[in-house]
Amino acid sequence: MKKWFSLFVILAAALIQATLLDHFKIFGAKPDLLLIIMVTLAGIFLFQLRWLIILAAIAGIFKDIFSVNTFGVNTLLFCCWVVLIVRASKKMSIDDNLRRAILILIIAVLHSIATGIIALLLGNPVPLGIFLRVTFFGALYTLLITPLIFKVLARWLKS
Q: What does R_g of the chain's alpha carbons equal in angstroms? A: 15
Is the separation of the CB atoms in 52 and 42 below 8 Å?
Answer: yes
Of 63, 28, 12, 20, residue with least CA distance to 141: 28
Task: Give the side-chain half-sphere CA count within 13 A for 92.
Answer: 8
Q: What is the pLDDT of residue 159?
A: 60
What predicted TM-score, i.e. pTM, was given to this entire model? 0.90
**Number of helices and strands in the chain (H, E):** 6, 0
Q: What is the pLDDT of residue 73?
A: 94
Is the separation of the CB atoms in 98 and 117 below 8 Å?
Answer: no
How confident is the chain (159 residues) per 10-residue block, as mean pLDDT? 84 93 88 92 82 95 88 95 92 84 94 93 91 93 92 74
Q: What is the pLDDT of residue 138?
A: 94
Domains for the chain: give ranges and CATH numbers: 2-158 (1.10.1760)
